[in-house]
Amino acid sequence: MSHHRSHQGRIFWGLVLIIIGTLFLLDRIGEFDFGDMISTYWPVIFIILGFSMLVGSGFRQLGPGVFFIVFGVFFLLSELDILEYNVWQYIWPALIILAGLWLLLRPVFRYRPTDKFPEIKENDIDASAILSGMKRRIESQSFKGGHVTAILGGMELDFTGAGLEAGKATIDATALFGGVDIRVPRDWKVVMDVVPILGGAEDKHRNVSDAEAKATLYVKGTAIFGGITVKD
């Protein structure tokens, strides 16, 4: 699988380099002004980057790639005077719409290896912090997993006094213009698979080996203009 994706990426960027080289060559022989073209069509760089992300993920993670493609298209339309007003008047509403669509469609389009993340069969936690902050201390010794969302707010989860049922559980976290902080015991192992879209995901927890780990917490989700952090 990874070899196939690497092969796709190599072909994609090879073709991009050939096209760029050809344009430079045409500029040198006086066929057209490459500098003038760049000053107008620079947003195409974001469109190419978006397609590269789609190809690199095998079209299984659509969010980041589609975001950059839409971002580039908006600015390109502005440079071509198709959008007559300040492009930012269109960008922010479009970003909000895209964020909403992503939250709705993520379960359909996101690829998850079935043997990597345990399925969330029961929501031991289903919490949202919207335009506010929330702190939750989990003390259950058989925590099964759940969903948390932070929209223009912050969510803090403390698992330092908790235990996981069968030694493993999954948290599905979404941070939209907000942050989710998850604190875990030092003897837990953490596995993260978070898609950041102009956001961030960070594992500050000192991971232990499989032999030393008393439990494994799986953290998946999306950070859009926000962040998801796991720490001790």
What pLDDT, on a 0 to 100 scale, did the predictor assign at position 200?
Answer: 85
When pLDDT is cut at 50, 70 and 90, the band that residue 163 belongs to is very high
The predicted model gives 65-80 an average pLDDT of 79
The residue range of the domain holding 36 is 2-109
The answer to whether residues 41 and 200 touch, using CB atoms and an 8 Å cutoff, is no
What pLDDT, on a 0 to 100 scale, did the predictor assign at position 12?
Answer: 66
Mean pLDDT, the chain, whole residue set: 79
- Quick: pLDDT tens for 144-155: 999 898 888 899
SS3 of 130, please?
strand
**8 shares a domain with 93:** yes
Phi, psi of 133, deg, nearest 5: -120, 150
Pairwise CA distance, residues 186 & 126, whole Å: 24
For residue 6, the one-letter residue type is S
200: buried, middle or exposed (CB in 10 Å: 19+, 13-18, 0-12)? middle
CA distances from 195 to 79, 175, 186 (A): 30, 10, 24
Least reliable range by pLDDT among 22-36, 54-68, 99-113, 118-132: 99-113
The predicted model gives 136-163 an average pLDDT of 91
Percent pLDDT > 70 in the chain is 77
**73 shares a domain with 17:** yes
Q: Last residue of some domain: 46, 79, 109? A: 109
What pLDDT, on a 0 to 100 scale, did the predictor assign at position 113?
Answer: 46
**225 shares a domain with 135:** yes
In a domain, 120, yes or no: no
pTM for the model stands at 0.59
Q: Does 77 or 134 have the greater pLDDT score? A: 134
